[in-house]
Amino acid sequence: MLEQFVTAILEFFTDKMPAGLTAFIISLMPILEIRGGMIAARLLEMPFWKAFLICYVGNMIPIPFIILFIRKIFEFLRRFSFFRRIIEKLERKTEKNKKKVLKYEAWGLLLFVAIPLPGTGGWTGALMAALLDIRLRKSLPIISIGVLIAGFIMSGLTYGIFQL
């Protein structure tokens, strides 16, 4: 399903911009992140290390902003009923995973970000860190390592273990 979504995005972008920029933009997007970026890079036949670097940077750029500003953004968006429902859903998801993350602290957040499953990743990890009051200084290195691990897992799946 993720590959089909990435393929649809690629069809839109392919004629309009270079492969590296396409992979970068896909990696910036929530849900897709480095997972979608690496799939796109592979489909665009980008060399592994170039693709990995571009997708990693693309995935990491929004993270500090999410940690620093998401509470203020949520506070503003709660004024609108449509956004209030989405925010409450995100907060419930955070609350659901709160015990696991707080129990294992840094390891919990790292594993949550590193395992490339739907609903996990850098964006969700940053949201969780912000809502659980884990400071940027502590959460950013953990999330960075988690995205790195997720990137290597996805690279192994998309580029093939032996091509790395």
pLDDT tens figures, 131-164:
888 999 999 999 999 999 999 999 998 998 655 4
Check whether 53 has a pLDDT greater than 90: yes
Q: Pick the residue with more confidence: 118 or 130?
A: 130
Would you place residue 11 in the very low, low, confident or very high pLDDT band (cuts 50, 70, 90)?
confident
Distance CA 127, CA 121 (A): 10
Confidence of residue 38 (pLDDT cuts 50, 70, 90): very high
- Alpha helix segments (H runs only) across the chain: 2-13, 19-28, 33-43, 48-60, 62-77, 81-104, 106-114, 122-131, 136-158
Enter the tokens of residue 73.
């953004």
- pTM attached to this predicted model: 0.84
Residues contacting 13, CB < 8 A, separation 6+ = 22, 25
Report the percent of the chain where pLDDT is more than 70: 95
Contact by Cβ (8 Å): 120, 112 = yes
Q: What value does the mean pLDDT take over residues 78-95? A: 89
CA dist list (Å): 150 to 5, 33, 34, 49, 139:
19, 10, 8, 15, 16
